[in-house]
Every structure is written in structure tokens, then in C-alpha cells.
Amino acid sequence: MKKRVIWITGASSGIGEALTKQYALKKDIALIISSRRKSELERVAAQCKPKKEIAVLPLDLEKTNEVKQTVQKAISIYGHIDLLINNGGVSQRSLIRNTDFSVFQRLIQINYLGTVALSHALLPHFVSRQKGHYAVVTSVMGKYGSPYRSGYCGAKHALHGFFDVLRMEHQKDGIDVTLICPGFVQTQVTINALTGDGSQLGQNDPATANGLALQPFVKRVVKAIDQKKWEVTFGKKEKLGVYLKRLSNKLLHAIVIRSQVR
């Protein structure tokens, strides 16, 4: 029986690293892990216990012109791919008026266009096999907005629109789509977030520091993917905003403003 091949982007830290280590515990799975930093990918692969068949494949989501070649390399490693977990991305912490337009462009290029380019390039492989699964780590910020995250929210909202349509168009081809919408999770995402001039924030915030514990969270993510859920939301009180928006945009607006989350 062929092993189930899982390709994880953004695997050098945070959610992607934790997902890699969680899937490494499963039998009959081969992993491909990607991010810009090859040395960090090699560190993650070496730390997986028990020792697992893990292929390291560097990938820069900003370089969309290289994506097709990377997809062909990924397919050639094990001969096929069953699941692509689109997890690579970057966050933002800056007010709109203080943000260079180039920062918005980067957020769209990495979080949206890079993910779309990779998924689009892999699509013919999934169609030819008449099966395949995309899991996309978006955010509760793909469902509603919050100050200091304008460009990030825009990119995450866009992912929902694209992958909802991909599911509609290719369900007939045996292709599944799972949208993962986390709230605050205890990772380095805020520390690495882009500020208004494009530099990294370099510090954490209380909401992220007190967010969901990473390991229990990724276990729930793996379960949702295995169950081929269409969309699943994780979080503490910020999760409620997804449901509140359906009730009243004005009420959600007032609550988010009062929360003063940075």
C-alpha cells in the first residue's frame, strides 16, 4: 500500500513545525516540509520522533515564478501527493495610515498569491489522480477584521473566497478542501509580524501569549483534516466573533473596538 504523502508549507516554525511533528507520529505517512529556511527545516526533520521519512524542500512563497518547478520536484520525491497543507504566511501589526503600500503588497503576495500559485500548480496532479486534499490555515481574521491587521485580514479573507470556489469546481474530481481558522495560538507569529515599514515587530502580545496551547491545537487540526471538514474555527473568546458577525456586524464592530487587541 502506498504511503499517504503530506506536504506542509511554513514548516520551519510554529503551527507548521508542530504539524510536522504530529504527523511524524503516524504510520504509513511520508512528509515533505517546506519554508524559506532550509537549515530550520532540517532541524525540524531531525527532531521528529520516531525517525520519519521526511523530505526537505525549500520554498519561498513570494517567488511565485518558481512554484511550478517546486511542485514538480515535490511530486517526484514520492511519486504523488495526497494532501497539501498551506500553512506558510506572515502576520501584520500596523495601522493603515502608518503602513507603506509595499507592506500590503507583501502580505498579499505571501499569504494569498503564493498559496494560490502553489495550489494551482498542484491542481493538475490532483485532477489526474481524481483525488487530493487541500488544507489551508487561514485565521478567524479571514472571517472578520481587527485593527492593526488590515492587510493580513484582506489576504486571509481572499483565501476563503478562492478555496470555496476551488471546492465547488473540483468536488467532482474527488478534491477536498479544509479551511482551518485559528484565533490566537502560542507561536512566534506576532514576533515575526510586519510593521508599517516592513520590519518585524520583534515582540509578543498578551493575546498571543495567552492563546491556545500549540500541541493540543495541532492535534485538533489533524483530526479536522482527517475528517475532511470543510471549515473549522479554533480559539478562545475571539472565536465568538465568527458567529457574532452573522448576527450583527455593528455589534461585532463595537466589541472588537472595545477589546483594544493589539
Q: In what order do the strands lie in the sheet with 54-56?
A: 54-56, 29-34, 4-9, 83-86, 132-137, 175-182, 231-234
Active-site residue, selected from the candidate residues 112, 134, 148, 152: 152
CB atoms closer than 10 angstroms to residue 146: 19
Distance CA 254, CA 231 (A): 26
Nearest to 151 by CA among 183, 205, 195, 189: 195
* φ and ψ at residue 172, rounded to 5 degrees: -65, -20
* Number of separate helices (H) and strands (E) present in the chain: 10, 7
Please give the Cα distance from 114 to 204 (Å, whole number): 26
**199, 256, 239, 261 alpha-carbon torsion, rounded to 10°:** 40
Would residue 134 show up in a list of annotated catalytic residues for this protein? no
DSSP state of 142: G
* Cα–Cα distance measured from residue 161 to residue 217, given in angstroms and rounded to the nearest whole number: 25
As annotated, the active-site residues are 152
